[in-house]
Structure formats: structure tokens, C-alpha cells
């Protein structure tokens, strides 16, 4: 029997035009509902907004695209051809990894070529890499149906055949050992272990603590591939907003929602500029902590999920470089010489390490107009603790000096004279601009065996007609997960 919401046209309000909010609006519009999206900023995208200055364009983040079929699925739901809106290129050589000992390792979309690269430049074999990639593929198959694309908070989901099969194989996803420990079962070279440990940083976690289940990320990145939209990552936002509008969704920008209106434990609408607007269903794409503290101030907070440790944050230097650097790729990682000390600094000492791991994303190597002729746009990022009142001006100053010193060493030249434009983001700015609690860009951390099970569900068990999407709720942070949060929301929507 279908839910009543599938038969009745409902008035729906989505709070926040982040990627999960836009995807939610599209899914509900495709089911025939009337959808209005309210966004406090002047443009859509949430953390996926863009910055344009002096001929340079930067994706504010994220910068790595996997599983583009999740995006295409939204177009198919609306009976549209995604290629009429957006195109992607699978990157043949997505990442370049740099080490302080002078080693440079290239990743390849062709796993056999990547395996030969590992074998030729490290102490590990091609056979070891293939065995590892087979293992992470199995992890993904087990976890995909259990909790990546379905709610963990709906009892009937546990009795589906796919879920029961997944639970029988739970041991194989290795939730009780760390990423670092799991990698030591396949690799002996510390450089290779560090390369694969990096997936923890993608979601603001510590590879020496976070469970090996997170290795599913490497299935997406290595086995399935990394992509780049034709005009950069903001192209995704642009295309999905166009699809939403073509599907009848109405966007309201510069429209800050003040409160979710409740009546006897039912969400009945939103309050905006001292006006109450009635809606049948409310979907919040706002950070879950801020949803409760700002929009539901009189509701008892779910302490179990909200009190989980927050993820790390980051400091990003958006640099316009007046020179091209052929030794760098689209995606580059310059590793710290002491991975464990770096993570200890971030997660325990609550500061940055003197020799940080540096990520540099340069979309102008793929999107020519993202920088002036002869120049490059550098998205230069280091992991940082979340905001607990540190002196971020001082930490930012130290981080900048450490990053430049590291780049000078690795690239064997002084890069600072070529920085002709600079914009900097830090945890305080992230907290204020992106409305992320404590500036934790990934919501709760995954530094625990059961962290995935402790994220806030995509619906409220106490307040009817209220749903939640985005990286701060189930199933987690990152573009594919945010899109899946909208997919799960639609499954539990009633």
C-alpha cells in the first residue's frame, strides 16, 4: 500500500539550498508535490558555492567528484536527459602524491596501471593493491544497501533480504579495527599506507581511530573513478537548480528561516520575517545542531546524536597563481613526514601540525577559463581542528608559513612571489559562512566503531512531517552521501 503522501499533492518547504536540499526538492517535485526552497544566502550550493575574483574562479568545496550517476539519477526521475544539463569527464590520472623523500606517485583510473605504479615506486606489489581493491569493493557491496542508501532508523529495513545478508557479513566491513591497522594487512610500505589512510581526512576523521569500513571511499575513487564536470564542481549546482526550476520548484534566496512552526508535535510551517507560512512537510538541509538550536529552540534535543564528537575542519588558501606549475596535477596531495603526529595535533592537541599534509586542487588544468592565461587557481587546504575558541588568526598565519615552506621544498622553488590573489577560509569563517557547528565541515566525526549508527536520522521520531538531509545527518558527509541523504529522505517521506 502506498503512503498517503504519494497520492496527495503536498506543500513542502526545504530549508537550505545546499546540494542535499536541492536534490530533496527535485525528488519531491518529481512526485508531484509543490516545493519551495528557502536559502539565507543570495545563491545556492551551500558548501559547494563558488568564488570569482579578478579572472579567477574557485570551487569553495568539495573538489572531488565520484559516483556522478547519483546526479544523473535526479534527471532521470524528472524524465530529463542529464547530458542536456551537465557533462563530466572521467580523469585518467586524478591524483598525484608527493612525499618528503622525493617520491611521487600517480594514481590512474586504470587500476592495473595504478598497481604497476605502486610496485615500481614502493616496496609493495601490484598483487597487494589488487587484493586491497577487491576487498574495498566487497565492503561497498555490503554497506551500500544496509546504510548508505537506506535508513538505519526504520525497523522494517533490517528484515529485507539485502540487509540480512549485509549483517551476516558485518565482520567483513571491519568496523572494529582502524583504517591504519586494516591497511597494514595489505601493505608494508609506510608511503602506501599513508596514501590510503588519507580517506579518513575526506570526512574529517583520524585514520588511526576511524573504522576500516571507511575504505569504501577507495572503491568509489579507485575502482569506479574520479570525475570532473565540464565547468568545475559548481556546474553540479547550476545544473540541479536548473532541473529543479524546470520541475516546478520555487527558490527564495536571501530568505532566512527563523523557526519551524510546530503544533502538537506536528511541523506545520516556517516562520520567516515575522510571518508564518503554512506547509504540509518541512525538510531541513541546515546543519542538524543549528536546526535544533536555531529553528527548534523549544524542542528537546536528541543528545545521543548531537553530543557525538565533531569532525575536524580545515584552513583553505584560495590562491590565484601568476604562473603554471606543470609538476602539479588537477588533484595533488603533499604528505606530512609524520602522519601520526599530524593527526594527534588535530584531534588531541586541537591545533595544526608544523609539517601538515597539503591538498592542492587546480581546476584550471581542466577548466581553462578558471584562471587567466598563463595562471592557475589553487585550492590549497590543510586539515585543522574544529573551532573551540582557538586564536585562528595566529593559527592561520602559522599554517600559511608552513604550507609555503612545504611547497617550496617539494616543488624546489619559491612559490610565494607568484601568489597574486589570496582569499582564506578557516573554521570560524566556515562556522559563520556555511553555518556549520564549530566549523566542523563534515558534521560528526567517524572516530568510533559505531559512528555511522549514531548520526541523526533523516526524519524526526518526535515531530511528524519533519525531515533532515545533508552531510550532518545519516548517512554522512561528502557529495555522494549528501545526495543519498535526499534519496533516503524520499524513502521515509510520508
More confident residue, 141 or 11: 11
Residue 362 contacts residue 412 (beta carbons within 8 Å):
no
**Co-location of 250 and 188 in the same domain:** no
Residue 263 contacts residue 299 (beta carbons within 8 Å):
no
Mean pLDDT of the 368-391 span: 97
Residue 235 lies in a domain: yes
**Co-location of 298 and 330 in the same domain:** no
Residue 107 lies in a domain: no
Question: Which of 1, 7, 31, 3 is closest to 486 using CA atoms?
Answer: 31
Q: Residue 172's pLDDT band (boundaries 50, 70, 90)? A: confident
Strand order in the sheet with 331-334: 104-106, 95-98, 331-334, 358-361, 376-384, 313-321, 419-425
**Co-location of 304 and 412 in the same domain:** no
**Co-location of 398 and 475 in the same domain:** no
Lookup result for grid cell 525531515: 467
Q: Residue 306's pLDDT band (boundaries 50, 70, 90)? A: confident
The Cβ-side half-sphere exposure at 321, using a 13 Å CA radius, reads 22
Cα angle 37-250-31, degrees, rounded to a multiple of 5: 85
Angstrom distances, CA of residue 423 to CA of 57, 111, 316, 358, 370: 12, 36, 8, 17, 15
**pLDDT averaged over every residue in the chain:** 94
Mean pLDDT of the 33-58 span: 97
Whether pLDDT at 4 is above 50: no
Residue 65 lies in a domain: yes
Provide the pLDDT for residue 233: 97
Q: CA 7, 283, 18, 209: dihedral to nearest 10 degrees? A: -120
Question: pTM (2 decimals)?
Answer: 0.95
Lookup result for grid cell 557491496: 141
Question: Which of 131, 169, 163, 130 is closest to 144 using CA atoms?
Answer: 163
Q: At what angle do helices 161-168 and 126-143 cross, to 10 degrees?
A: 140
**Co-location of 265 and 315 in the same domain:** no
Q: In which domain, by residue range, is 158 found?
A: 114-220
Q: From the centroid of its chain, how far is CA 185?
A: 28
Query: Residue 75 belongs to what H/E stretch?
Result: helix 69-77
Provide the pLDDT for residue 383: 97
**Co-location of 283 and 343 in the same domain:** no
Q: At what angle do helices 19-30 and 69-77 cross, to 10 degrees?
A: 30
Whether pLDDT at 168 is above 70: no
Residue 113 burial (CB count, 10 A): 15
Q: Which three cell numbers stand for residue 122?
A: 614502493
The Cβ-side half-sphere exposure at 67, using a 13 Å CA radius, reads 18
Q: Residue 303's pLDDT band (boundaries 50, 70, 90)? A: confident
Whether pLDDT at 37 is above 60: yes
Q: CA 422, 425, 426, 428: dihedral to nearest 10 degrees? A: 130
**Co-location of 161 and 209 in the same domain:** yes
Structural domain count of the chain:
3
**Co-location of 316 and 375 in the same domain:** yes
Residue 299 contacts residue 266 (beta carbons within 8 Å):
no
Residue 166 lies in a domain: yes
Domain C-terminal end among 187, 220, 253 = 220
Residue 407 lies in a domain: yes
Question: Which of 387, 398, 381 is closest to 437 using CA atoms?
Answer: 387
Give the integer Cα–Cα distance in Å for 467 and 10. Answer: 14
Amino acid at each position: 500500500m502506498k503512503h498517503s503522501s504519494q497520492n496527495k499533492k503536498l506543500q513542502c518547504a526545504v530549508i537550505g539550498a545546499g546540494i542535499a536540499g536541492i536534490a530533496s526538492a527535485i525528488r519531491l517535485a518529481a512526485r508531484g508535490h509543490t516545493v519551495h526552497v528557502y536559502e539565507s544566502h543570495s545563491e545556492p550550493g551551500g558548501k559547494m558555492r563558488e568564488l570569482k575574483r579578478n579572472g579567477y574562479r574557485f570551487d569553495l568545496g568539495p573538489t572531488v567528484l565520484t559516483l556522478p550517476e547519483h546526479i544523473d539519477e535526479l534527471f532521470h526521475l524528472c524524465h530529463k536527459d542529464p547530458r542536456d544539463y551537465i557533462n563530466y569527464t572521467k580523469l585518467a590520472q586524478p591524483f598525484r602524491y608527493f612525499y618528503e623523500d622525493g617520491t611521487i606517485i600517480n594514481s590512474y583510473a586504470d587500476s592495473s596501471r595504478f598497481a604497476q605504479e605502486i610496485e615500481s615506486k614502493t616496496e609493495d606489489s601490484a598483487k597487494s593493491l589488487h587484493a586491497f581493491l577487491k576487498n574495498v569493493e566487497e565492503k561497498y557491496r555490503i554497506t551500500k544497501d544496509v546504510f548508505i542508501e537506506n535508513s538505519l532508523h526504520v525497523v522494517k529495513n533490517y528484515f529485507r533480504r539485502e540487509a540480512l545478508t549485509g549483517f551476516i557479513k558485518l565482520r567483513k566491513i571491519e568496523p572494529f579495527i582502524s583504517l591504519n591497522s586494516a591497511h597494514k594487512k595489505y601493505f608494508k610500505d609506510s608511503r602506501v599506507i599513508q596514501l590510503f589512510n588519507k580517506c579518513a581526512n575526506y570526512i574529517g576523521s583520524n585514520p588511526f581511530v576511524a573504522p576500516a569500513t571507511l575504505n569504501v571511499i577507495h572503491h568509489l575513487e579507485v575502482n569506479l573513478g574520479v570525475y570532473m564536470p565540464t565547468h568545475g564542481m559548481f556546474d553540479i549546482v547550476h545544473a540541479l537548480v536548473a532541473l529543479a526550476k524546470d520541475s516546478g520548484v520555487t527558490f527564495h534566496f536571501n530568505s532566512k528561516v527563523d523557526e519551524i512552526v510546530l503544533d502538537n508535535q506536528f511541523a506545520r510551517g516556517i516562520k520567516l520575517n515575522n510571518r508564518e507560512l503554512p506547509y504540509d512537510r518541512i525538510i531541513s538541509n541546515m546543519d542538524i545542531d543549528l536546526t535544533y538550536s536555531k529553528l527548534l529552540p523549544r524542542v528537546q534535543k536528541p543528545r545521543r546524536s548531537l553530543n557525538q564528537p565533531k569532525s575536524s575542519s580545515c584552513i583553505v588558501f584560495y590562491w590565484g597563481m601568476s604562473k603554471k606549475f606543470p609538476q602539479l596535477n588537477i588533484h595533488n596531495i603533499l604528505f606530512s613526514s609524520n602522519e601520526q603526529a599530524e593527526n594527534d595535533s588535530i584531534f588531541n592537541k586541537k591545533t595544526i601540525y608544523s609539517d601538515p599534509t597539503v591538498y592542492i586542487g587546480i581546476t584550471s588544468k581542466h577548466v581553462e577559463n578558471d584562471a587567466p592565461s598563463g595562471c592557475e587557481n589553487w585550492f590549497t587546504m590543510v586539515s585543522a581542528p574544529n573551532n573551540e575558541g582557538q586564536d585562528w588568526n595566529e593559527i592561520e598565519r602559522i599554517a600559511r608559513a608552513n604550507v609555503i615552506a612545504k611547497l617550496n621544498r617539494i616543488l624546489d622553488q619559491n612559490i610565494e612571489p607568484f601568489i597574486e590573489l589570496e582569499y582564506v577560509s578557516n573554521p570560524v569563517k566556515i562556522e559563520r559562512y556555511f553555518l556549520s557547528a564549530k566549523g566542523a565541515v563534515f558534521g560528526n566525526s567517524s572516530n568510533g566503531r559505531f559512528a555511522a549508527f549514531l548520526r541523526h536520522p533523516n526524519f524526526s521520531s518526535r515531530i511528524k512531517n519533519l525531515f533532515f538531509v545533508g552531510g550532518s545527518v545519516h548517512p554522512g558527509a561528502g557529495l555522494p552521501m549528501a545526495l543519498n541523504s535526499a534519496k533516503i529522505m524520499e524513502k521515509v517521506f510520508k
